Amino acid sequence: MSKHIRIDPELDHLVGLIYQGALEPQPWQSALPVLRQALDAQVASLVLRPPTSGDKGVILNSLRPEGAADASPADLADPDDWELRIYREEFFALDPFLNLPPGQVIALEDILPDPELVASDYYLHYLKPINLFHILGVDTLEPGGMLARLRLSRRRSEPSFSERDRELLEYITPHLQRAIQIYAKLNRTTSERDLYAGAVDQLSVATIILDEQGKLLNTNAIAKAMLEEGDGISLKGPHLHIAGRDANGRLQEALHAVITAQQKRETSVVRALSVARGAGRSELGLVVRPVPTSQWSEGQSSPCAAVFISDPDLHDSASQHVLGALFSLTPAEANLAILLARGLSLAESSETQNISQHTARAQLKSIFAKTGVSRQAELVRLILKSVASLG
C-alpha cells in the first residue's frame, strides 16, 4: 500500500531559497524576505560577519515595506541605511543578544525581561528610535569557524513571537546551517582560486581552461588579450587554433592526448610546443596539462585541460619594493637588477636609467655582495626564481 507524503509547498519553497542563498550574487537576497513574511516580522537580519571596532562587518537586512499589505517580498535593504549604519558603528557593542548557543532558537525576552530591556541603553538609544522590541534569533557555527546570526524583529505594538514561530525557526535552522557551510566553503575556494590566478597573472603566464571536448571554458586577462590579438594562437569558435595546418595539427594532437588520458584516468601527460608569430616577435611557449579532478567531479563542461602560454616579449612584473626588501637593495640597485633580469645588458641598463656605466658597474658590484652571487647569469636566475614578481 503506497503512502502519500504531504509537503507544505510554502515551507518547501522557503527551504529551497535558503540553499539557493549560498549561490546568489547577494547572499540570501531571495530567502530573507520570504522568511520575514513567514514569521510576520518587521525586520529579518542575517549577520555573516559580526561588526567590530574598525570593521563594519556584513549584515543583510530585509525590511517590511511601509504601507498596506506585505504582498510581495522586497529587495534587501541598502547596507548604508541609517539603522544598519549606526548599529555597525556604535550599537553592536551594546547588543545584549549575542553569543547564543549554536543552533538554539532563543527570544530576547528569554534572557532579558521586558522591564530590564526598556531600561537599557540598547533599547533607549537604538531599538526604540527604530521602533523594534520583540526579537527572535538563532546562531549557527559551521565547522570552518564561520559564525552567522539570524534575527527576526517585531515592533512593540505587535505580539511577541509564538511557539509556532519558534518551531518554524527551529525547523529551518539545520538547513540554514548547512547552506552557510556551503557558502563558507565556496567563499574559501573562490578566495584560494583568485589568489592563485592572481599569482599566475603576475608571473605573466597566459592561462586557458578547456572542457572535455576541448572547448574554451575560461581564460585569464593575459590569455584573453592574446587570443583577441590572434598573432600565433586564436579561437575558431570555442576551440583553440594555431596558424598553419601542421602547427595546428600538433596543437590538436596534444590537446586530444591530454584530454583522453585525463578521461581514462591514465598517467598524467604533459605536452609542450612552440608557436610561431609574426616577424620580429619571439615564439610563444605553450604547455598543455590535465586539470586535477576528484573522483566525483566529472561532468559535462567541466575543466579538463589547462593550457599555459609564456610570451618572452612580455616583461615580468618584478616589484622594486619587494626585491629591495628581499635582498636589502637600494631602489636604484633594485631597478638595475630588474632590467638585467629582463635581458638587458649592463650598458643598455645604464642607458635606460640615464646613469653612467661606471655607476652601473658599482651598483652591480654592490648587488653581487648583497645577494651572494658573483655572475650576472646567477643574479638573473635568482631574481626570476624569487617572489619579487608576486609583489
Q: What confidence tier does 386 reach under pLDDT thresholds 50, 70, 90?
A: confident
The DSSP call for residue 123 is I
Q: What confidence tier does 151 reach under pLDDT thresholds 50, 70, 90?
A: very high
Q: What confidence tier does 81 reach under pLDDT thresholds 50, 70, 90?
A: confident
Which cell numbers hold the place of 302?
Answer: 567541466
How far is 374 from 146, CA to CA, in rounded Å? 51
Query: Which residues fall within 8 angstroms of residue 68, CB to CB, at 6 or more apart?
Result: none
Q: What confidence tier does 109 reach under pLDDT thresholds 50, 70, 90?
A: very high
pLDDT at 298: 55
Q: Tell me the pLDDT tens digit for each residue of 53-80.
A: 778 888 898 988 876 445 444 567 776 6
How far is 223 from 275, CA to CA, in rounded Å? 14
pLDDT at 295: 54
Q: What is the mean pLDDT of residues 305-322?
A: 79
Computed over every residue of the chain, the mean pLDDT equals: 86
How far is 127 from 148, CA to CA, in rounded Å? 21
Q: What is the mean pLDDT of residues 306-320?
A: 78
Q: Tell me the pLDDT tens digit for each residue of 270-299.
A: 899 999 988 888 889 999 999 877 655 555
- Cell numbers 570593521: residue: 55
Contact by Cβ (8 Å): 231, 281: yes
Q: Tell me the pLDDT tens digit for each residue of 175-210.
A: 999 999 999 999 888 888 777 776 666 667 889 999
The DSSP call for residue 220 is -
Percent of the chain with pLDDT over 90: 44
Q: What is the mean pLDDT of residues 345-370?
A: 91
Query: Which residues fall within 8 angstroms of residue 340, CB to CB, at 6 or more apart?
Result: 346, 349, 364, 376, 379, 380, 383
Q: Work out the widest C-alpha separation in the chain, in whole angstroms.
A: 98
The answer on pLDDT for 229 being more than 50 is: yes
What domains sit in the chain, N to C, each tagged with a CATH number? 9-190 (3.30.450.40), 203-310 (3.30.450.20), 320-390 (1.10.10.10)
Q: Which has the higher per-residue pLDDT, 181 or 380?
A: 181
**Strands, DSSP E only, in the chain?**
43-49, 58-63, 106-107, 134-141, 147-154, 205-210, 216-219, 233-236, 239-242, 271-275, 284-290, 305-310
Q: What is the mean pLDDT of residues 118-146?
A: 91
Distances (CA, A) of 287 to 159, 205, 209, 251, 325: 67, 11, 12, 10, 33
Helix (H, G, I), strand (E, B) or coil at 60: strand
Q: Which has the higher per-residue pLDDT, 299 or 265?
A: 265
Q: Which has the higher per-residue pLDDT, 205 or 171?
A: 171
pLDDT at 1: 43
pLDDT at 98: 86
- Using DSSP bridges, classify how beta strands 147-154 and 205-210 pair: parallel, antiparallel or unpaired: unpaired
Q: Tell me the pLDDT tens digit for each residue of 230-257.
A: 998 999 999 999 988 899 999 999 999 9
pLDDT at 297: 57
